[in-house]
Every structure is written in structure tokens, then in C-alpha cells.
Amino acid sequence: MAIAETTRAQMREVLDRYPRKRSALMPLLHLVQADEGFITPEGVTLVAELVELTEAEVTAVSSFYTMYLKRQSGRVRVGVCINSLCAVLGGDEIWDALVDHCGTGNNQTTDDGAVTLERIECQAACTHAPVMTANWEFLDDMTVEKAKQVVDDARAGRPIQSTRGPAVRSFADAERTIVGVDDGLVADGDHRDDRILAGLRLAQQNGDAERSAEAERRGAQTVKGN
Amino acid sequence: MPLTPVLSAHWDEADSYTLDGYRRHGGYDALALAFAKQPDDVIQLVKDSGLRGRGGAGFPTGMKWGFVPQGDGKPHYLVVNADESEPGACKDVPLMLANPHSLVEGVVIASYAIRANHAFIYIRGEVPHAIRRVASAVREAYAAGLLGQNILGSGFDLEVTVHAGAGAYICGEETALLDSLEGFRGQPRLKPPFPAVAGLYASPTVVNNVETIASVPSIVTNGADWYTSYGSEKSPGVKLFAVSGHVERPGIFEAPMGTTMRELLEWAGGMRKGHRLKFWVPGGSSVPLLTEEHLDVPYTYEDIAAAGSMLGTGTPMVFDETTSVTRAVTRWLEFYKHESCGKCTPCREGTYWLVDLLRRLESGVGSDDDITRINEVSAQIAGRSFCALGDAAATPFPGAMKYFADEIALGTHTAASDLYDPVAATVLAGVNA
Ligand SMILES: Cc1cc2nc3c(=O)[nH]c(=O)nc-3n(C[C@H](O)[C@H](O)[C@H](O)COP(=O)(O)O)c2cc1C
Ligand code: SF4
Ligand code: FES
């Protein structure tokens, strides 16, 4: 498969962001995956040309990072956080259930090509444990039932709504978002849930929020008056 | 202790992540105040505030900025560490989702202070929604003349590049991050030279955590005295605490330094019903665990250290009596083994051996010799590794041994899953416990 002209244009735009070409290597590899699904020899050749390295040098870098894949994934990469906190709170049970449900193991794809299961590490979302991801969008507060539903929806081609994020998109689209391409979805998915607002809500109830705002304003006036 | 929402004060507004939402509450006012000062005076202000790095090590921020040589003719860089991958840490990603402009404003002020004209925000690759929100904030800031050439007529120019990682915990280590940003494998560099002298492209570079940089605008607006009115002399200010685990209401609580775990636990609704605290980890898996007897230790760098642990990221993970400490520690070691960059032998080989030995204990086929060997291997990694990941890997087991030696010894004959029913530890609805 050839790398599309639109992707090549995005690659040139990415190169412009850095004082030195080689710094663009990581986003360029993400863009290779957006087009090809994984790090293909053709992608390596193109990136090597763009950043003026040898193919071996590019491969040495890509092989270091777990997000750069060695083979094609299913349409939805479904991750289950199995780091200690999530594992203990239910991630291990969810993982076992999904392995059963899908008949696949880690980094393997269901027969219909729909889902690749992946054991993932802490996603900076422990307050929402057990945590999963679908093409890297958050699936918070998961249960075995919800996890199976995600997989069933993915296999049936039904939409999957992330928590704190937009509806789950293709792996290719996710890779473009990761390199900063504007996908128009910044407003999708509310960051405001009971975990994120726990402290603020409590402070508002206690009157702490007003007190600290008041203190801030007084401080501000002193500084501005200087 | 009261709660003190500063960074999180407006997270309950739907558009808190937009430029309009940020400006509604005085956003970017600090920038004009900073531009009215000399860069060195901004550094002095941050020194006076006593702000310490929120990425884990707690290094004084103003001092770090002051290490950047000035008038050296080289370009300077600011690099924001938004790699948040430490197990248990979950504060920077929510901040970037809810309030990315506080980060962008902090980036401009910090860059002005250290005289950098190009800043990078290195975000872990696995959080597209955070990348979306930060990238959008940066675009909005460019469009409003808050980034780019001659910002607000100050004569100061700044380019900001949002850069995504690709799934390597070690890239949170600041020198590995710089290698990664230069397009290499993310492996740590020898220190010294420190990044402030020879960092990105061998030029003076400040690397700071997201929360550190996002705290700067409020300090500029409200003054160093306001900041030091919170917390202790050595650990001033307020911070985002994120409480996770077996509590009734996990979540984010912004409060003064010096808040205790007992207070955080109370805000989080206490332990889940019918259960009691077994252990808690104050700041990511890389710091030693603590127990009930430490609930009244103030959350300051010095007090948590005196209690035998570290403040780290200030994001406590809380576990109740249903949890097997052997299982939790083994899983953390599996993480360190997976994330070891392989550059130095003690860490690469040591984590391999630790996982092997710990798995034996977890499955109940360990021996007393194994426990001795784990302690020995941990001691060989600690202080002998090239970077702090090695030290981190050598931390959980000795930490757990200090309080749970008897339980760990049961792994010589009984599997952890027989001692502690894993289902009872879950919070899953519909799984019968
Ligand atoms: C293995 C390892 C991972 C780290 N991960 C992070 C991280 O994700 N975010 C962060 O800010 N600091 C992380 N650090 C600490 C950084 O090396 C550095 O101290 C910090 O970014 C400095 O910023 P601060 O002074 O504002 O805290 C990590 C350190 C190590 C050894
Ligand atoms: S301690 Fe571990 S992570 Fe750090 S340089 Fe050595 S092998 Fe790499
Ligand atoms: S341990 Fe799963 S998100 Fe942190």
C-alpha cells in the first residue's frame, strides 16, 4: 500500500515544527501507522528519507516504543489496564473475561479482524479504575459486562462512546489526532465527572471554594497595586 | 485543612478548556504582569514562592530556572514533561483535559523567564483526548496573539510544539525524554551535565512537570506571599491530590501541602463500606508504601520522607484488607521489568530476576531463599543503576517487607489468590464476591 498524498502533506507539516529534522521521527512514525496500520518497510523507507537517516536507524527507534506496531491490528484496539491498582480493582477479571469472550490473547486479533486485545499499563486514570481504552480513548469505571459490550459493539461495527472523550474512531484517525492534526472533536466528551470534580464540589459545599477565591483576589490586588 | 481549588477552580464549567472559559476568570492576566517584569525578576518570584517540582523529585523550580546560563548565545528551550505514566499518577492528564490554557500560559511565562523562544510539550501518546485539548489550546493561543511573534507587544517570541510519545515510561525521565524528543530511543543520559546546561540539542533546557508549569500563572498573579501562605516552609503552596483505590469516592482534591492522608481519605468518603485500610502508596508506585499509622503524616516532602517514603506525584493509591501485597508488588515489578530501557545491567537483569522470584512467591511456591535473594537483588539495583527507574524498581519490595514480612513469607507455601480472594478485592458490580 502506498502512503497517501494527504499523509505525506501532514508529514511535511510535522517536519516544520522542529528545529532539527530528526526530532520529527516519532510523529512521522505515528503517521505511518495512520496510513498503514503498523510500521511497514515502506513507511520506514519514507521516514528515513524525510529525516535523512538510514532505515536501520529508523527501525532501531521504532522498535523501542510499544505504540509502534509490528503487524496489522483489528479495527479496534481494546486495551485493559493491568497495572496493580486497576488489576486489583477488577482489571484482571475483565482481562480474563475478554480473553474468554474473544478467544484471543494479548496482542492478538479476533478472527473477524474486529478487535485486538492488549494488556496496557497505567493510563493516568487510576481514579476511574478499572480502566480500559478503545483506540486509546478512555473507557472508565469498567465492569466485565461493559467490557464485553465494548467488544460486541466493535465486532458488530456499532459506535462505542468513550468516557471523557468522543465516540471511538478508527485506529488511523486516532494516530492522526496523536500527532496533533485537528479532528474537530475537542469539544466532544465532557471532562466533568464525579471523580474529576470531587474536590471542587466538596469545596463549594463547604464554602472553601469562595474562601480560596477571596484569598486569591486579595493577593492579586496586592500584587497589582505594587 | 480546607480544600483550595486554584488550578481546578473552574473545572465544573463545560468550556473550562477553551480560551474563552479560561479568560472569563482572569486567564492570561498573569502573562501581562510577567511581561511587565524583567525575566530575572520572574525567576526570583518563583524562587520566593518556594514552588517545587510536581513531577516527583520536588526540586525547587525557581532554582532550576536560575541554573540556565544567560547571555551564552545559545538557544534555550523549555520542555514540559507531560508523560504521566507513573503507576498511580493521574493528575496531569485531567489538568490537560480541563484546563490546558493554565499550562500554555505557564509555558509562556516560564519561557520568558529563562529566555527560551521554543517550548515543547511532550505528552504520552496514549491519551489522544488530552493531546486534542492541549493542541487546541495552543492553536487558540496562536490565533489570539498569545504565542508566536511579539506576544502582547512585549517583543517576546515563542513557538510551542506539542509532541506525542509512543508508549515508554522511561521517557518520563527527563534526559530520556530529551533523547526521545531528539528522535532517538528514549534512554537516559549521564548527568552531569544537567539539562539546564546541556539539554535539548546540547543547549540549556528546563524540563518541568505539567502541574509545576501550570502553577506559575497563579503565583505571578497572586504573589509569592500568597503561595507561601499555604503549606510548610519547605513545601509551600497547593497541589492536586488524586486519590484512587478502595475508597468510597475516588477523585481529585486540590488542597494545601501539609494536608494529611486522613483528611484526603475523609474527603474521598472513607474506605469502601465494610472494609479497612491495609496500605497506601503516597506518590506513585516508585515510592515505599505506608500504613494506617501514617495517616496523620502531613503531605510535605520532608514529613513523608521522615515517615520513610516520598511525596512523589502526590497521588495516593489506597488498598484495603482484601488486597494481597505480594500480588500488588509483583505486578509493579512486572511493570518496571517491561519498562526498563535495557541500558544498564543492574536494572535490566535485576528486574528480570525480581519478577521471576516474586512470581514464585505470588503463586505460593517460593522459598525463604527467594525472599533473601529478592532483598539482595533489590540492594544491587538500588544506587547501582544508571537512572532513577532502577531505584524505583528496587523500592516496592523492601517497602512492603517493612510492614508485611509475615504475609510475604506465606508465599513459601500458599498462593496469594488463596490467601486473598481476588474477586473480593474488585469493585466490579455483578461479580459475586
Ligand atoms: C522513570 C522515571 C519516570 C518519570 N516520569 C515522569 C513523568 O511522567 N512526568 C514528570 O513530570 N516527571 C517524571 N519523572 C521525573 C523527571 O525526571 C523530572 O524530574 C521532572 O520532569 C522535573 O520536573 P519538575 O521539577 O517540575 O518536577 C520521571 C522520572 C523517572 C526516573
Ligand atoms: S536504570 Fe533501567 S531504565 Fe535506567 S538506564 Fe538503567 S536499564 Fe535503563
Ligand atoms: S493503574 Fe490503571 S489507570 Fe492507573
pLDDT tens column, B296-331: 999 999 999 999 999 999 999 999 999 999 999 999
**Residues B332 and B318: beta-carbon distance below 8 Å:** no
> In sequence order, what are the beta bridge partners of B95?
none
Q: Identify which of B120, B123, B125 has the alpha carbon closest to the alpha carbon of residue B110.
A: B120
Residue of A nearest to B160 (CA): A17
Give backbone dihedrals phi and psi of B344, rounded to 5 degrees, phi first.
-120, 150
Residues of B in contact with A179 (CB under 8 A): 164
Share of chain A above pLDDT 90, in %: 90
Chain A contact present for B132, CB below 8 A: yes
DSSP classification of residue A161:
B
Taking the C-alpha atoms of residue B46 and residue A202, their distance in angstroms, rounded to an integer, is 30
Q: How much distance in Å is there from the Cα of A84 to the middle of ligand 3?
A: 7
B176 lines ligand 2 (CB under 6 A): no
Q: Supply B346's cell numbers.
A: 543492574
Chain A contact present for B223, CB below 8 A: yes
At B60, the amino acid letter reads P
Q: Where are the domains of chain A?
A: 5-64, 76-171, 196-225
**Residues B339 and B389: beta-carbon distance below 8 Å:** yes
At B204, the amino acid letter reads P
> In sequence order, what are the beta bridge partners of A167?
A161
**Pairing of β B238-245 and β B251-256:** antiparallel
Place of cell 483576589: A217
Residues of B in contact with A137 (CB under 8 A): 128-129
B422 lines ligand 2 (CB under 6 A): no
**What are the tens digits of pLDDT across the range B43-63?**
999 999 999 999 999 999 999
**Residues B92 and B314: beta-carbon distance below 8 Å:** no
pLDDT band at A212 (very low <50, low <70, confident <90, very high): low
Rg (CA), chain A: 21
- A100 C-beta neighbours (distance < 10 Å), count: 11
Sequence-separated (6 or more) residues with CB below 8 Å from residue B60: B47, B50, B51, B52, B53
Where is pLDDT greater, at A119 or B431? A119
Sequence-separated (6 or more) residues with CB below 8 Å from residue B76: B68, B114, B115, B116, B117, B203, B204, B205, B206
Taking the C-alpha atoms of residue B168 and residue A65, their distance in angstroms, rounded to an integer, is 6
- Give me the helices (H) in B208-362, please: 210-222, 224-228, 261-267, 301-306, 325-339, 345-362
**Residues B253 and B267: beta-carbon distance below 8 Å:** yes
pLDDT tens, per residue, chain B with 433 residues: 899 999 999 999 999 999 999 999 999 999 999 999 999 999 999 999 999 999 999 999 999 999 999 999 999 999 999 999 999 999 999 999 999 999 999 999 999 999 999 999 999 999 999 999 999 999 999 999 999 999 999 999 999 999 999 999 999 999 999 999 999 999 999 999 999 999 999 999 999 999 999 999 999 999 999 999 999 999 999 999 999 999 999 999 999 999 999 999 999 999 999 999 999 999 999 999 999 999 999 999 999 999 999 999 999 999 999 999 999 999 999 999 999 999 999 999 999 999 999 999 999 999 999 999 999 999 999 989 999 999 999 999 999 999 999 999 999 999 999 999 999 999 986 554 4
Q: Identify which of B137, B130, B191 has the alpha carbon closest to the alpha carbon of residue B165.
A: B130
Check A121 against B88: CB less than 8 A apart. no
Check A83 against B93: CB less than 8 A apart. no
At B189, the amino acid letter reads R
Taking the C-alpha atoms of residue A149 and residue B119, their distance in angstroms, rounded to an integer, is 42
Ligand 2, residue B188: give the atom nearest the CA.
Answer: 5
**Element spanning B143, H or E:** helix B128-143
Q: Identify which of B231, B203, B197 has the alpha carbon closest to the alpha carbon of residue B215.
A: B231
Region at B134 (left for phi over 0; alpha for psi -120 to 50; beta for the rest): alpha
Sequence-separated (6 or more) residues with CB below 8 Å from residue A161: A167, A168
Q: At residue A156, does pLDDT exceed 80?
A: yes
Place of cell 498524498: A5
Q: Identify which of B155, B195, B222 has the alpha carbon closest to the alpha carbon of residue B74.
A: B195
> Which of A32, A64, A95 is best to mutate for the B interface (most B CBs within 10 A)?
A64
Q: Supply B366's cell numbers.
A: 517460593
User: What distance lies between CA A174 and its chain's CA centroid?
Assistant: 7
Q: Supply A150's cell numbers.
A: 465494548
Chain A contact present for B3, CB below 8 A: yes
B212 lines ligand 2 (CB under 6 A): no
Region at B417 (left for phi over 0; alpha for psi -120 to 50; beta for the rest): alpha
3 state SS of A102: helix
Tell whether pTM > 0.80.
yes
Residues of A in contact with B282 (CB under 8 A): none
> In sequence order, what are the beta bridge partners of B244?
B317
Chain A contact present for B170, CB below 8 A: no
Q: Supply B349's cell numbers.
A: 537483569
- In whole angstroms, how far apart are CA B309 and each of A83, B70, B170, B291, B337? 21, 37, 21, 11, 22
> Which residue out of B83, B179, B190, B389 has the highest number of ligand 2 atoms within 8 Å of its CB and is therefore the one to mutate?
B389
- Number of helices (H), then strands (E), in chain A: 10, 4
User: What distance lies between CA B305 and its chain's CA centroid?
Assistant: 16
3 state SS of A25: helix
> How many residues appear in chain A?
226
- Domain A5-64 - what CATH class? mainly alpha
> How many residues appear in chain B?
433
Q: In the prediction, which pLDDT does A217 show?
A: 58
Q: Identify which of B236, B183, B172, B238 has the alpha carbon closest to the alpha carbon of residue B208.
A: B172
Taking the C-alpha atoms of residue B44 and residue B376, their distance in angstroms, rounded to an integer, is 45
CA angle B135, B140, B143 (to 5 degrees): 125
Q: In the prediction, which pLDDT does B95 show?
A: 98
**Element spanning A138, H or E:** strand A137-139
Q: In the prediction, which pLDDT does A207 show?
A: 87
**What are the tens digits of pLDDT across the range A158-185?**
999 999 999 999 999 999 999 999 999 9
Taking the C-alpha atoms of residue B80 and residue B212, their distance in angstroms, rounded to an integer, is 9
pLDDT band at A2 (very low <50, low <70, confident <90, very high): confident
Q: How much distance in Å is there from the Cα of A156 to the middle of ligand 3?
A: 28
Q: In the prediction, which pLDDT does A222 show?
A: 41
Rg (CA), chain B: 22
Mean pLDDT of chain A: 93
Q: Identify which of B186, B187, B182, B140 has the alpha carbon closest to the alpha carbon of residue B160.
A: B140
B59 lines ligand 1 (CB under 6 A): yes
3 state SS of A92: helix
> In sequence order, what are the beta bridge partners of B282?
B284
Share of chain A above pLDDT 70, in %: 92
B84 lines ligand 1 (CB under 6 A): yes
Q: In the prediction, which pLDDT does B1 show?
A: 83
Check B87 against A89: CB less than 8 A apart. no
Residues of B in contact with A140 (CB under 8 A): none
User: What distance lies between CA A194 and its chain's CA centroid?
Assistant: 22
Burial degree of A57 (CB within 10 A; 0-12, 13-18, 19+): middle
As a whole number of angstroms, the longest Cα–Cα distance in chain A is 70
- CATH of A76-171 given 2.40.50.140, 3.40.30.10, 3.20.20.450, 3.90.1170.50: 3.40.30.10
**Residues B98 and A193: beta-carbon distance below 8 Å:** no
DSSP classification of residue B286:
T
CA angle B239, B242, B123 (to 5 degrees): 85
Q: In the prediction, which pLDDT does B430 show?
A: 55
Taking the C-alpha atoms of residue B58 and residue B303, their distance in angstroms, rounded to an integer, is 13
**Pairing of β A132-134 and β A137-139:** antiparallel
